[in-house]
Amino acid sequence: MSEQQRTDPAGATTEAPRLGGLHHLTAITARAAGNLRFCTQILGLRLVKKTVNQDDTTAYHLFYADGAATPGTDLTFFDWPAPPERRGTRSIARTGLRVGSAESLHWWAGRLRAEGVAVSEVAERAGHLSLDFEDPEGQRFRLLDDGGAGEAHPWERSPVPAAHQIRGLGPVTLSVPDLRPTAAVLTTVLGMRAEREHASADGPVHVFAMGPGGPAAEVHVVVQPQLPAAREGAGGVHHVAFRAADAAELRAWAERVAGFGLRSSGEVERYYFRSLYFREPNGILFEIATDGPGFAVDEPMETLGERLALPPFLEPRRAAIEAGLKPLD
């Protein structure tokens, strides 16, 4: 039986739906205004949706992406007044961002240093030429060369030249104390492929790929049993989401996850996409999210992110919600 198949209680073999790659990654900031400046003015990303956390409307939920708000390019932040993350295992330890060439990596090394950001050397890490750095709150990032594969949608108002703009999410790195339960969920439940293994200073890195493969569709897992468990906080990552094509595919994922005995949120309507949330056995929160309808469902593409956007069920509370949010200027 292949890794993408399972046998249901009646004995029939069922195929896993196909994940299309990374959809978005959501982190935590305690400094929303500074986060906005860093992501748009230093990283050159586009603010494509300024909204609130639908489960906590006192907090912004900021979405940054490429010029066309393409699924797979979204880096998002919950604005929570949290202390800094305590780093450790059972966490998403590093966020990958793709650029189109080795030349771009060297350009970024110079740009980040000029902005006072400490950066690593450009070197090969886990199979990709890359550059590591941290944002002002300590979130760990890795810029990597994706070879210019696939489409790119630069933002014409970015301070970063189009040739060097961030093209989307790259591999996310999970830290776990024990590979086996996480690998079982990635392969047997989610249908990913165990592709390769690399040595690193942090421990062995196991690379899993989904759908089309490549850096926009990879999850890296580093095994670090010597570390304490991470504690959620500012500068840390809350969850990672994988791409489902549409609502029908998400429904199939909900049935599949339940069929393996994993507790989930069930399908959740987020208005800009539909979601399913569950934790893998080492405690890391996964989401599967639909590609549509997208961020232009309630705003013109040309003016995304310029006003506070609220899903219809929150619109009647707009005045109270706006009054409770601190300015981003």
pLDDT exceeds 50 at position 1: no
Asked if the bond preceding 293 is cis, omega within 30° of 0, the reply is yes
* Positive or negative torsion for Cα 130, 42, 232, 277: negative
What span, in angstroms and rounded, lies between the C-alpha atoms of 311 and 27?
A: 21
At 259 the pLDDT is 97
pLDDT at 14: 59
Report, at the CATH architecture level, how domain 5-323 is classified. Answer: Roll (3.10)
Q: Each residue of 217-229: pLDDT tens digit?
A: 999 999 999 999 9
Q: 10 pLDDT exceeds 80?
A: no
- pLDDT for 184-239, tens place per residue? 999 999 999 999 999 999 989 999 999 989 999 999 999 999 999 999 999 999 99
- Long-range contacts for 298-307 (Cβ within 8 Å, ≥24 apart)? 298/271, 299/49, 301/68, 301/69, 304/46, 304/47, 304/48, 304/49, 304/69, 305/46, 305/47, 305/48, 305/49, 305/50, 305/63, 306/50, 307/50
